[in-house]
A and B are shown apart, each in its own frame.
Chain A
């Protein structure tokens, strides 16, 4: 299986690059035939601190199949404990960091269900996976309508006490792929825009396919952040944006 893989990202308008709190894994791709390919996008919650660090841990752990959640929580805590924090930062850190993530695994020959060219996905929160075939969305995980997005999703926390019942929000999905299919992993703002644009105008898939360099992503995002609907809401919420594109071929 060969993988054509690209990732583009942009921080929230008004923030610096260092303040980008989405994450993705892998960071780069070694182009060689693979039997299995794993990738992930995660999104640290704006209202929690050290959430970019937590999001990267979640994305990496999906791709590397470890460490465990408990080990990551301890590693996050260790990194924070080593810092000297002001009273407010200390209090904020005690609440923990929170993040959404979506992970995708592509199999060339046989997935766990024994099918050729299969995929599995796992998602918690509002980062999304979309599978596109012949200019149609044939799978959307975990959300399939832009109406499902809000500013208070259940997210996975670095603080074990905040994760009670969180497994109920974990969505797992699987399917098969063909040569020519395109998979996208996206953080929430661009996922929500994508579903809305596709529903209202039917051309969001073409918009994304045209993005082949960073400039084109920046141009799309800055334009859509400026356009407001009849309620005064921006077509794309001002938030960090991550777009990962994966095009597998069998040989």
Chain B
């Protein structure tokens, strides 16, 4: 059985984000995000993912290095690490490096339920590791090739790990060919616990309703979404069970594909120990 390896400091796993920083990310972000560009939606999604992963691994004494993390950007400037601030230029870092070295911590305002039927503003800290970027073409194939090389090297040092999860965040318009072949190459790599998981988050200008963990391409609004859906790995059984426990009704065989939604839920599904059901 796959995807049962313990994730620990002695046997860490890897989360690898591959993010689209091309010119088309300048376009407006759809699905109720009026006034926001896709590039802003993307950097917010990445920063939220990293923030949630850091908090997941945080303990009383500090951050436990259950994960190694990479963020690779692709744009008209080519393929390169996307961190800004102290981690700039680094391909893979530990989750404690992430937690201890954001470029900055912004003060933001979040709208929350006031418990009396209304909405109130709450001040929150929003650490930033990646800024919005939108330049030139979309070399997704090159980005996935580089991802494959980095993870092949990483797997050689961590042969028994819970398999790395690659999250490709894009509007889907690859300009250097069909990325399916490189996606298959990545998914064919494995540790003793199973194949690498490739998930895709499609950020679109479409007003189509958000979709989480699609089971077929039937409802997907365009050919880019359909392509990314077919590139995505099926959710491992334990994640599927956890999605259902959270009350999301899924059809059979859901894939790691979301459309204009976020992938933060994936962080909740990573099993590093007891997680109370009343902690949401």
Q: CB within 8 Å of B: which residues of A? A: 14, 18-19, 43, 45-50, 52-53, 86-92, 95-96, 98, 151-155, 157, 162-164, 166, 188, 230-234, 238-239
Which of A19, A90, A154 interacts with B277 by CB under 8 Å?
A154
What is the bound-complex CA distance between A50 and B59, given in angstroms?
7
Give the contacts of B1-25 with A (CB-CB under 8 A): 1-2, 4, 6, 8-10
B279–A48 CB distance below 8 A: yes
SS of B interface (majority): loop
Q: CB within 8 Å of A: which residues of B? A: 1-2, 4, 6, 8-10, 51, 54-56, 58-63, 99-100, 102, 105, 125, 127, 193, 242, 245, 271-279
Which of B2, B60, B275, B276 interacts with A89 by CB under 8 Å?
B60
A47–B272 CB distance below 8 A: yes
A232–B245 CB distance below 8 A: no
Which of B55, B102, B271 interacts with A151 by CB under 8 Å?
B271
Q: Determine the residue in chain A with the shortest Cβ distance to B57.
A: A88
A47–B273 CB distance below 8 A: yes
Which of B6, B58, B272 interacts with A88 by CB under 8 Å?
B58
What is the bound-complex CA distance between A164 and B9, given in angstroms?
34
A238–B4 CB distance below 8 A: no
What is the bound-complex CA distance between A154 and B62, given in angstroms?
25
B8–A238 CB distance below 8 A: yes
B273–A88 CB distance below 8 A: no
B99–A47 CB distance below 8 A: no
A86–B100 CB distance below 8 A: yes
The answer to whether residues A232 and B276 also contact, given A47-B56, A86-B99, A87-B127 and a CB cut-off of 8 A, is no
What is the bound-complex CA distance between A234 and B4, given in angstroms?
9
* B contact residues around A239 at 8 Å (CB): 273-274
The answer to whether residues A151 and B105 also contact, given A49-B60, A88-B58, A238-B6 and a CB cut-off of 8 A, is no
A88–B279 CB distance below 8 A: no
B4–A232 CB distance below 8 A: yes
* A contact residues around B276 at 8 Å (CB): 45, 47-48, 98, 152-155, 157, 162
What is the bound-complex CA distance between A88 and B124, given in angstroms?
12
